[in-house]
Amino acid sequence: MKIVATKVTPLQCGAASATDANIPQVVLITGAKSQFAQALLRVAADIGELALNSSTSTNSVAPIKLYALSRSQLDITDAANIAAVFDQYRPSWVINCAAYNAVDAAEHDAIEANRVNALGPELLAQQCWLSGARLLHVSSDYVFGGHAVRDVRETGAEPYQNQDSAPNHLPRPFVELDAPKPLSVYGKSKLLGEQKVVAILGERATIVRTSWLYGQDGHNFVQTMLNLMRTQPSLQVIVDQIGCPTWSDALAKVIWQLLMQQCSGVFHYSAQGQCSWYEFACEIQRQALALNLLSLPVVIQPITSAHYAKQALNRGMSLAKRPSYSVLNSAKVQSALAVNTALPMPDNVVWQDWRQQLNCMLRRYHDDN
């Protein structure tokens, strides 16, 4: 794999000088067995080839050395382990995919959630600072709570404070300048991790928040729904939480481009559009039936978050509080990457509607199975 090295000013992206382009890049991926790390590895070669044909290419191309390490090889909560790994691989970039993602379990395991999601990124950032490396940290829409709102007369995307109730206002997708307001232990731990990374690394930090991530690897909503639809006659799915499903491969393409263009700062990325979990489940079934991934339809019933939580409590389970609206605005990352023809708009799946991304993923899943 080869990509173009670039040199930029803070929060911007641009072409590299010939000197910079000749420097070999070493990229270290943490959490190698995670759903998203697998997506990064899967699309890495394709992104490299696209980059060579992009408008930011130079005549001198730096080869990338890519290393993906599992928790047994790199424990991000162990400072000595991190130092030894950095000494061995000497990365110029680190992409942190290691995370504690059990949202409900985190409510009863806050120490571990904060150890992995806050302390781990902090230790990585400290080592990056010492070694001169850059860190790209993957975060979550769950750092937000309530609604970002705008008056119905407004058309822009200026930042507003989160509001839990906003009469005569409409919710709008969150932009990077909106004030976070996490509702759960998980969300708070992810926000703390972001803050630690930015405080330590400043311009050498890149934070990418995403939402409702799914893919052909690992445990995620799409895989869970397909399994349940094959074994259960009916399902109940939450109807009053609104977000945007995002295909892990599309996010991976965006992150490789941010790395290649050495973009820093906070970015939001998700597919286009928005839906409820219920609407997402219905679309999964519709497309899966069309692709013969399912033989028969099942009944999908909408259920409110409150009713679902009450049912869980009756079974002896407690659920973390989740935002009722957590759609992300991707305009900033679109603008940052617009100069690179490796991600053309609007044709590339990266910038398409969530239904189209789902269709791409399910077709890949169909071909692989």
Q: b/e for 189-199, b at 16 or more Cβ within 10 A?
A: bbbbbbbbbbe
Within a domain: 230:
no
Max Cα-Cα span within the chain: 65
What secondary structure does DSSP assign to 61-124, as a single string? -EEEEEEE--TTT--TT-HHHHHHHHHHH--SEEEE------TTGGGG-HHHHHIIIIIHHHHH
Within a domain: 172:
no
Mean per-residue pLDDT for 73-92? Answer: 96
| pLDDT (0 to 100) of residue 9 | 27
Annotated catalytic residue 186: yes
| CA distance linking residue 279 with residue 272, whole number of Å | 15
Within a domain: 158:
no
Within a domain: 6:
yes
Tokens of 75: 């424990």
Side chain identity at 243, as an amino acid letter? G
Closest to 260 in 3D by CA, of 31, 30, 52: 52
Closest to 332 in 3D by CA, of 160, 188, 206: 206
| pLDDT (0 to 100) of residue 349 | 85
Residue 275 pairs with which residues in a beta bridge?
A: 243
Within a domain: 317:
no
Note whether 186 and 113 are within 8 A (CB).
Answer: yes
**Domain count within the chain:** 1
Helix (H) / strand (E) containing 210: strand 205-210
A 10 A CB-CB count for 345 gives 12
pLDDT-based confidence at residue 3 (cuts at 50, 70, 90): very low
For residue 65, give the CATH number of its domain: 3.40.50.720
**What percent of the chain has pLDDT above 70?**
79
Within a domain: 138:
yes
User: Is the confidence at residue 1, as pLDDT, over 50?
Assistant: no
Helix (H) / strand (E) containing 196: helix 185-201
User: Is the confidence at residue 167, as pLDDT, over 70?
Assistant: no
| pLDDT (0 to 100) of residue 348 | 81
Q: Can you give the pTM of this predicted structure?
A: 0.85
Q: Tell me, rounded to whole angstroms, the distance of Cα 62 from its chain centroid.
A: 26
pLDDT tens digits, residue range 120-141? 999 999 999 999 999 999 999 9
Tokens of 93: 């970039």
The whole domain housing 257 covers: 2-145+180-214+246-273+327-352
Closest to 251 in 3D by CA, of 213, 219, 218: 213
pLDDT tens digits, residue range 336-345? 988 665 665 5
| CA distance linking residue 314 with residue 326, whole number of Å | 27
| Catalytic choice (186, 269, 278, 308) | 186
Q: Tell me, rounded to whole angstroms, the distance of Cα 167 from its chain centroid.
A: 31
Mean per-residue pLDDT for 218-244? Answer: 95
Within a domain: 268:
yes
| CA distance linking residue 365 with residue 358, whole number of Å | 10
**What percent of the chain has pLDDT above 90?**
69
pLDDT-based confidence at residue 176 (cuts at 50, 70, 90): very high
Mean pLDDT of the chain: 84
pLDDT tens digits, residue range 37-73? 999 998 887 655 444 333 333 334 456 788 999 999 9
Within a domain: 229:
no
Closest to 32 in 3D by CA, of 98, 117, 123, 118: 98
Secondary structure of 301-314 in HEC code, one letter for each residue: EEECHHHHHHHHHH
